[in-house]
């Protein structure tokens, strides 16, 4: 986790909560630029993901995106709403995953350049 401050932890938690609220709302009403909103909120939340939780984050993002496509096959209105909710949650998780992946990459590069020569 970057910056162990209590304020930052609350910011990450609020961003995660907003991803869920916006994802659910977007299934029922039209929200302009909802994908961008979810990606940005997810990205903010992604800064608070601990190193040991990053792999789990990547898997959940993939699962949500795939599950949204499968849920669309449920007949009736329920499938449409569930697919929209899971797809929107997946979008938020993709935003968090991109940030977590970038932080991992930066840490690897930093480690490679700060190693003592063999």
Tens of pLDDT along 53-93?
A: 999 999 999 999 999 999 999 998 899 999 999 999 999 99
- Check if the beta carbon of residue 70 is closer than 8 Å to that of residue 19: no
> Residue 63 has what pLDDT?
96
- Mean pLDDT of the chain, nearest integer: 92
Please report whether residue 1 resides in a domain.
no
Nearest to 39 by CA among 100, 104, 94: 94
Tell me the two tokens of residue 74: 């449920």
Please report whether residue 12 resides in a domain.
yes
> Residue 80 has what pLDDT?
92
> Residue 116 has what pLDDT?
63
Please report whether residue 78 resides in a domain.
yes
Range of the domain at 65: 6-114
Please report whether residue 77 resides in a domain.
yes
Residues ≥6 apart with Cβ < 8 Å to 22? 31, 34, 37, 38, 41, 88, 92
**pLDDT-derived band at 114, boundaries 50, 70, 90:** confident
Among the residue ranges 20-29, 32-41, 56-65, 107-116, the one predicted with the least confidence is: 107-116
Q: Report helix, strand or coil for 33.
A: coil
Structural domains counted in the chain:
1
Q: What is the DSSP letter of 117?
A: P
Global pTM value: 0.86
């Amino acid at each position: 986790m970057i910056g162990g401050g209590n304020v930052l932890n609350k910011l990450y938690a609020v961003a995660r909560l907003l991803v869920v609220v916006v994802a659910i709302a977007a299934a029922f009403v039209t929200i302009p630029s909802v994908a961008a909103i979810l990606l940005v909120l997810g990205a903010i939340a992604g800064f608070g993901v601990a190193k040991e939780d990053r792999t789990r984050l990547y898997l959940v993002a993939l699962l949500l995106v795939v599950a949204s496509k499968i849920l669309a096959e449920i007949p009736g209105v329920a499938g449409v709403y569930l697919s929209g909710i899971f797809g929107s949650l997946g979008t938020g998780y993709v935003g968090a995953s991109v940030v977590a992946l970038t932080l991992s990459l930066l840490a690897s590069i930093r480690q490679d350049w700060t190693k003592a020569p063999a």
